[in-house]
Amino acid sequence: MRPLRPLFALAAAFATTATAHAQDVHAAHAAHGTHDAHDTHDTHDTHEVPPADHPGTQRERIEAASQEHPQHAIPDARPPSGHVAPPPPQHVMGAMSPARMIDVMGMDDRARWGRAVFDRLEHGDGRALGWSLRADYGGDVDRVQLRSEGEHADGRTAHGDVELLWSHAVASYWNSQLGVRHDVGEGADRDWLAFGVQGLAPYWLEVAATAYVGSRGRTALRIEAEYEALLTQRWVLQPRIELDAYGKDDPAARTGSGLADAAVGLRLRYEVTRGLAPYVGVEWSRRFGRSAHYAHADGNDADDARWVAGVRLAF
Amino acid sequence: MKLLSAGGRRLPVLPSRRRFVRGVASGALLAAYGFAPLRARSAQGVLSGTRFDLEIGATTVDFTGHARRAVVVDGRLPGPLLRWREGDTVTLHVRNTLAERSSIHWHGIVLPADMDGVPGLSFMGIEAGGSYTYRFRVNQAGTYWYHSHSRFQEQLGLYGPIVVEPRAGERFPAEREHVVLLSDWTDVDPEHIYATLKKRSDYYNFAKPTAGDFLRDARAQGVSAALAARRMWNEMRMNPSDLADVSGHVYTFLMNGTTPASNWTGLFERGERVRLRFVNGAAMTFFDVRIPGLKLRVVAHDGQDVEPVTVDEFRIAPAETCDVIVEPRDEAYTIFAQAMDRSGYARGTLAPRAGMVAEVPALDARVLLAMGDMMGTMDHGMPGVKGMEGGCGASMPGMDHAAMGHGGSATMHHAPAEYGPFVDMRVDAPRTNLDDPGVGLRDNGRRVLTYADLRSVTAPISPDVGREIELHLTGHMERYVWSFDGRKFSDAEPLRLAHGERVRIVLVNDTMMTHPIHLHGMWSELESPAGEFLARKHTLVVQPAQKIAYRVSADAIGRWAYHCHLLYHMEAGMFREVVVA
Q: What is the DSSP string of B394-410?
A: TT-TT--GGGS-SS--P
Instruction: Kindly state whether B172 is in contact with chain A, defined as any CB-CB distance less than 8 angstroms.
Output: yes
Quote the mean pLDDT of chain A.
81
Sort residue B392 into left (φ over 0), alpha (ψ -120 to 50) or beta.
beta
- CA-closest candidate to residue B520, choices B25, B128, B113: B113
- pTM, two decimal places: 0.85
Cβ neighbors of A10 (< 8 A, separation 6 or more) are B27, B30
Task: Among A224, A241, A260, give the residue marking a domain's end.
Answer: A224
Q: Judge whether B204 lies within some domain.
A: no
Q: Judge whether B403 lies within some domain.
A: no
**CATH number of B296's domain:** 2.60.40.420
Q: B488: which chain A residues are within 8 Å (Cβ-Cβ)?
A: 109-110, 140
Cβ neighbors of A299 (< 8 A, separation 6 or more) are none
Q: What's the Rg (C-alpha) of chain B?
A: 23
Q: How many helices (H) and strands (E) does chain B have?
A: 6, 33
Q: Judge whether A297 lies within some domain.
A: yes
Q: Phi and psi of A7, rounded to 5°?
A: -60, -40
Q: Judge whether B374 lies within some domain.
A: yes
Q: Are residues A312 and A235 in the same domain?
A: yes
Q: B234: which chain A residues are within 8 Å (Cβ-Cβ)?
A: 202-204
Instruction: Kindly state whether A9 is in contact with chain B, defined as any CB-CB distance less than 8 angstroms.
Output: no
Q: Judge whether B230 lies within some domain.
A: no
Residue of B236, B421, B570 lying closest to A171 (CB–CB): B421
Q: Are residues B515 and B377 in the same domain?
A: yes
Interface of A with B in 181-240 (CB under 8 A): 200, 202-204, 229-233
Q: Are residues B329 and B460 in the same domain?
A: no
Asked if B92 contacts B133 with a C-beta cutoff of 8 angstroms, the reply is: yes
Q: Are residues B83 and B170 in the same domain?
A: yes
Residues found in chain B: 581
- Report whether pLDDT(B322) > 90: yes
pLDDT tens digits for A216-274? 999 999 999 999 999 999 999 999 999 999 999 988 888 899 999 999 999 999 999 99
Q: B355: which chain A residues are within 8 Å (Cβ-Cβ)?
A: 8, 12
Asked if the Cβ–Cβ distance from A38 to B327 is below 8 Å, we say no
Q: Judge whether B83 lies within some domain.
A: yes
Q: Are residues A197 and A244 in the same domain?
A: no
Distance (Å) from the C-alpha of residue B424 to the closest C-alpha of chain A?
6
Q: Are residues B374 and B317 in the same domain?
A: no
Residue of A186 and A8 predicted with greater confidence: A186
Q: Judge whether A74 lies within some domain.
A: no
What domain range includes position A156?
139-224
Q: Quote the CA–CA distance of B418 and B410 in Å, as a whole number.
A: 18
Q: Are residues B504 and B564 in the same domain?
A: yes
Q: Identify the weakest region by mean pLDDT among B23-37, B64-78, B487-501.
A: B23-37
Nearest 10 degrees: Cα torsion B517, B521, B525, B529? -40
What domain range includes position B327?
2-188+250-351
Q: Are residues A206 and A183 in the same domain?
A: yes
Task: Among A204, A224, A244, give the residue marking a domain's end.
Answer: A224
Q: Quote the CA–CA distance of A260 and B425 in Å, as a whole number.
A: 39
Q: Judge whether A185 lies within some domain.
A: yes
Asked if B146 contacts B79 with a C-beta cutoff of 8 angstroms, the reply is: yes
- Report whether pLDDT(B388) > 50: no
> CA-nearest residue of chain B to A114?
B199
- DSSP state, residue B76: B
Q: Judge whether B211 lies within some domain.
A: no
Domain count along chain B: 2
Q: Are residues A165 and A240 in the same domain?
A: no
Q: Are residues B342 and B375 in the same domain?
A: no
Q: Are residues A144 and A212 in the same domain?
A: yes
Q: Judge whether B231 lies within some domain.
A: no
Q: Judge whether A191 lies within some domain.
A: yes
Q: Quote the CA–CA distance of A268 and A125 in Å, as a whole number.
A: 16
Q: Are residues B424 and B289 in the same domain?
A: no
Residue B40: CB atoms within 10 Å: 12
Q: Are residues B119 and B37 in the same domain?
A: yes
Q: Judge whether B242 lies within some domain.
A: no
Distance of alpha carbon A29 from the chain centroid: 58
Q: What does the pLDDT average to over B526-543?
A: 97
Residue of B424, B464, B556 lying closest to A85 (CB–CB): B556
Return the pLDDT at A128: 84
Asked if the Cβ–Cβ distance from A314 to B200 is below 8 Å, we say yes
- Report whether pLDDT(A104) > 60: yes
Residue A243: CB atoms within 10 Å: 17
Q: Are residues B415 and B300 in the same domain?
A: no
Q: What does the pLDDT average to over B471-491?
A: 96
- Interface probe, candidates B21, B88, B151, B552, chain A, greatest A C-beta count within 10 A: B21
Q: Are residues B44 and B157 in the same domain?
A: yes
- A44 pLDDT band, cuts 50/70/90, is very low
Percent above pLDDT 70 for chain B: 87
Q: Are residues B347 and B422 in the same domain?
A: no
Dihedral sign (CA B441, B442, B446, B447): positive
- Report whether pLDDT(B393) > 50: no
- Report whether pLDDT(A16) > 90: no
Task: Among A161, A193, A224, give the residue marking a domain's end.
Answer: A224
B202 to each of A150, A233, B439, how far by Cα in Å? 29, 11, 18
Residue A171: CB atoms within 10 Å: 12
Interface of B with A in 447-506 (CB under 8 A): 447, 453, 455-461, 463-464, 476, 478-479, 481, 488-490
**Residue type at B354?**
A
CB pairs under 8 A between A and B: 293
Q: Are residues B342 and B383 in the same domain?
A: no
Interface of B with A in 132-171 (CB under 8 A): 136-137, 139-140, 150-151, 171
Domain count along chain A: 2
Q: Quote the CA–CA distance of B121 and B523 in Å, as a whole number.
A: 18
